[in-house]
Every structure is written in C-alpha cells, then in structure tokens.
Amino acid sequence: MFRKPLTCILALLLGTTAWAARRPGQPLKPGFNFFSKQQDVDLGQTNAKQVLQQYEVVKDPFLQDYIRRVGDRLAAAREARDSGFPFTFTLLNVPEVNAFALPGGPMFIFTGLVKDTENEAQLAGVMAHEMSHVILRHGTHEASKANLIQIPALLAGGLLGDQSMAGQLANLGLGLTANSFILKFSRDAESEADALGSHLMSQQGYNPIEMARFFEKLAQGGSRGPQFLSDHPNPGNREVAIEAEIRTLPQQEYGYETGQFARVKVAVNALPPPVKRPQAAAGQQK
C-alpha cells in the first residue's frame, strides 16, 4: 500500500539532487514538499509572532515605510507575484548584519544589515535573496526531506497554527531554533536564492551586481560579516555564479533608487541601543 508513495518520494528527492546542477539562466522551481502553500503561510505567521516577542521592532514610521517600499517593489516582480505569498517586511533593532524570511512571506531585516550595506541596491539584494527562499519554499522543502515520517503525521493532525504545539514544531526543525530547517539552508538552496534574487532585482531596476558585491565584501571580512556568513553558507564561487546568472538576463539600464537611502542610514545610526529581551540570541536566526 505504501510502496508507491515511497517510490515517488525517492524519485522526487533524486530529482532535487539533479536540480542542484542547473546552469545559469535555467528555470528555478520549488522542490519536493509535503506542505501546501497555505501551510507555509500558517507556519510563517506562527513563528512571526514569536519573532515580534523576542526582538524590538523599530518604532520610526519613516524607516518602516522605507523597508516596506523596497520590499513591495521586489514583491511586484513576476516570480514573487506568481508565488501568491503575502510578503511583509519589518525592521528590527538588532545590531547583527542579518535578515531572514519565514515560510509564506514574513521578512525581518536587522538594523545592522542596513548599516553595513553601501547603497539601496545592496540592501535590496539581501532582501531579494531572502524573498527567493520563500518563493522557492526552501524552508518547508528542507523540513520535508528531513522528516519523511513525522511531517505527514503532523500535517494530517492539523497542528500547524496551534500555539500549544510550538515545542513540537521546534523539535521537527520548524521553530526558531539554531537548527531550524525553515531558517538554515543548504548551499544549493543558497545558490538558487542568489540566482532568483538577481532576477527579482533586475526586473525592478536594481543592479543585481550589487548583491554579488555585498557578499564579496562580507567574505573579505566586512564588519560583523562572520555572523551573516555563518547563517548564509557560501555555496562556493558565489560572486562568479551571480555574475554568470546576470549575463543571462535581458540587457537593460539599472539604477533605480528611492533616493532615501542616505537619510535612512542617518536615521538608523541615530537609533538607541536595542532593549534586551529574553531568548533573543542571534544564533537562533537564519
């Protein structure tokens, strides 16, 4: 009775391995997954509530509106629209150079990332990378691969969204823990997010080479770079791979900017230190 489904699962898993060898310009699509897209959304919203309890949200309306404007522009790109996910963008007062997006669309950007980027396109590049993880459903894909037995039972029981199940979700790598599948990805997933991110940037007028430049800066020892790179493993030849992907994109003029990045940097640098909250260890995040 179970032979056919298991055979299908193995075939799908083998297919995801072959997919990792894609050439620049080839299509990108989500891999094998037990979760529905609505369950991605439910999972993301459940964990987003925990993020908002653990971290201080920046109260400056101008800064939050700016992050939303950059995010909404990227979310208007074709692949993001077609995904159907309701993307949201929140700036958190956290000094580490980092950002992460939860399944289904909630994205959180640390003030440390804004401080470390040199222009709006670099910030948009990191956001496009994180958005790509959501579009390609990398978090629930990784969780599905690692929990072939437990995940179907969890979903069948309708436990997602039940706050009392937070501990069980964490045990299966679906919570905000250091080993969370929904926040830490393989190098193949990082390569795919780099590639798709460059497409999102290009469509919306941001120069995708700035994504490569920012990652290169961190790899060369930019301020607080090790935290970012520990959560975003370098797939190898990252900048070269992004540049190869860019060469497959339609030629166009880049240079879109809101014109507010300089003001944003000043405002972020003027923020008071974050209020320490319990269980807000940086190592918990993607």
Average pLDDT, the chain: 83
What is the SS3 assignment for 91?
strand
Tell me the per-residue pLDDT of 176-189, one tens digit each, with 9 for 90 and over.
Answer: 776 677 778 888 99
282 burial class (0-12, 13-18, 19+ CB within 10 angstroms)? Answer: middle
Higher model confidence: residue 66 or residue 13? Answer: 66
Per-residue pLDDT band for 3 (boundaries 50, 70, 90) equals very low
Tell me the per-residue pLDDT of 135-176, one tens digit each, with 9 for 90 and over.
Answer: 999 999 988 887 776 766 666 666 555 545 556 666 666 777
Domain spans in the chain, listed from the N-terminal domain onward:
34-271
- Give residue 67's pLDDT: 98
Tell me the per-residue pLDDT of 189-228, one tens digit each, with 9 for 90 and over.
Answer: 999 999 999 999 999 999 999 999 999 888 887 444 545 6
